[in-house]
Chains A and B, each alone.
Chain A
């Protein structure tokens, strides 16, 4: 849709923040003198560290505050601890964290089961909303997944049958 000639003039406030000095440099509006910026600051009080908090090796000490959500635990926690041995500049920091996230999903399911809760994947994935607003795609996706599962099951069963048949064949070497 092409702008009509009066498009801009219809905008309330057009040009009110036009600033010829808004030159591209750096998104700092209030620049400190260099020596002042690097001279440190009066640090806030330190939050008590009473849960395990992983810290980037690029920080010399713990930040004054931090989140306490979901401390590292289990196998994913072990991987996360190992990842934090490397700097934020290293793939050995980030890729293990991605791996840990995926392992953590399985840990979450096992944890639910351990607590006697069967995760409702349909509801957690917003299945009701899909059913209401996107039924065709939901049904299509379910059918595709079911078909893939059926093919996989048939393939595995075929392999098992094949192996059983091979095991029951007389062995020429043994028989000779």
Chain B
């Protein structure tokens, strides 16, 4: 089969790899119909996540048709068209039973801190991902969800990660009616988080980024006030001035690849001595009001990082963070798509053949051609 093949930082290609097989009674094999490149894939692409091995296939946002199921699979069957949450979750460990499906204890032997994630390095379990024609899906009775007949495939693929992650970012913010919410990052997740902030009753939503075309999109889509941090002398001072006492809630939707601080860039992105450049988180902690809430969905590596933890203590800030619990959120989010409350597919700017995966990564990584969200389409889904 065709599959994306990681060759090292900033180098990926399409190759032929063996088609995956059932390795466990609860596995399914899915023929991929849509597969996104996620902003967090760029952390892998840029070489920021430890134990990212050459030869691996990335991709944790995908839909597909079930081709084969193991003997222990009962809720989905061959021919079902499913969306597959990025979390690999057993559904029965203590964490899954608490609906923390991103923290499963039975899917990632390499690290206890995170559950298994498709195509996200060996630090997240060593699974090949969905930027391929076929993918092995463990615990197929738990994660995969049959796509409703009425749902557009482009909406479905964004329900595997972007929408739940953006929604959970707002949810973890504990947003109360009347709150001012600042979202750092106008990538797909940041845009979705800003949109969802309104659903929880926010009165003012501000988005900070440096890409003008993304800010313009966020201004219309969310809708939100948008500011380019490169035009601000100091984003933290500006935000404190415009919110008077600081934001009620700050959301970090950037993660390890943040720009905006030379020191963080050198330590976190060049020397890899931090779990990424934590500039956005730094700004979030310093921009939120005393007693406010910082919600983190930006992805960082497992190594420590330089954040102003003293300010967290002195300001009495609550930090809430996690990988999105996709399965928990899906029923509500499917309702929101059906009712027109959320329109995920509007984020998709590029539909690119899987065979052109090298160019797709470059376009997304370098923000070429005003790219917001690229989707890879395998040959079988184009005919």
Q: Spell out A's residues near B (CB within 8 Å).
A: 1-3, 7-8, 10-20, 22-24, 26-32, 37-38, 41-45, 47-48, 53-56, 58-59, 62-70, 72, 76, 80, 84, 88, 91, 94-95, 97-98, 100-102, 104-105, 107-109, 119-121, 123-130, 133-134
Whole-angstrom CA separation of A100 from B100 in the bound complex: 31
* A44→B96 CA distance, assembly (Å): 13
Given A59-B112, A123-B358, check contact A47 B23 (CB 8 Å). Answer: yes
Distance, CA A15 to CA B195, complexed state (A): 12
Q: Which residues on A sit within 8 Å (CB–CB) of B264?
A: none
- Using A55-B109, A67-B126 as known contacts, say yes or no to A129 and B359 having CB atoms under 8 A apart: yes
Contacts of B340 in A (CB 8 A): 12
In angstroms, how far is the closest chain B Cβ from the Cβ of A157? 29
The answer on a CB contact under 8 Å between A17 and B200 is: yes
User: Given A11-B198, A23-B174, A108-B54, are A65 and B138 also a contact pair (CB < 8 Å)?
Assistant: yes
Give Cα A53 to B107, complex, Å.
Answer: 12
Give the complex CA separation of A95 and B51 in angstroms. Answer: 10
Chain A residues touching B, majority SS: loop
Report the bound CA distance from A22 to B360 in whole Å.
39
* 16 additional A-B residue pairs with CB within 8 Å, beyond A22-B200, A70-B53, A101-B53: A15-B199, A16-B341, A17-B201, A30-B98, A41-B92, A47-B138, A59-B112, A66-B108, A66-B125, A66-B127, A69-B57, A98-B272, A101-B51, A101-B52, A109-B7, A119-B11
| In the bound complex, CA of A99 to CA of B352 (Å) | 33
A41–B94 contact, CB under 8 A?
yes
Contact with A along B292-329 (1 / 0, CB 8 A): 01000000011100000000000000101110010010
**What is the bound-complex CA distance between A38 and B97, given in angstroms?**
12
Docked-complex contact A53 and B109, CB < 8 angstroms: yes
Which of chain A's residues have a CB closer than 8 A to the CB of B223?
3, 7, 10-11
Beta-carbon nearest neighbor of A55 in chain B:
B109
Partner of B126, one of A16, A29, A68, A133: A68
- Among the stretches B149-157, B231-239, B362-370, the one at the interface with A is B362-370
If A18-B177, A126-B358 touch, whether A44 touches B199 (CB-CB below 8 Å) is no
Q: Cβ of B13 < 8 Å from any Cβ of A?
A: yes
Return chain A residues, CB-CB under 8 Å to B366: 126, 129-130, 133-134
Chain B residues contacting A125 (CB-CB under 8 Å) are: 10-11, 358, 362
Q: Are B98 and A31 in contact (CB under 8 A)?
A: yes
Pair A100/B51 contact, Cβ less than 8 Å: yes
3 A-B pairs with least C-beta separation: A126-B362, A67-B126, A67-B127
The interface residues of chain A lying within 8 Å CB-to-CB of B52 are: 101
Please name 12 pairs of A and B residues whose Cβ atoms are closer than 8 Å in the assembled complex, sorted by A: A11-B195, A27-B172, A27-B322, A53-B109, A63-B105, A63-B107, A84-B110, A105-B8, A126-B359, A126-B365, A129-B358, A133-B369
Q: Which of A28, A62, A65 has the most CB of B within 10 A?
A: A65
B54 contacts A13, CB within 8 Å? no
A56 to B105, CA, bound (A): 12
* Cα of A166 to Cα of B303 in the assembled complex, Å: 49
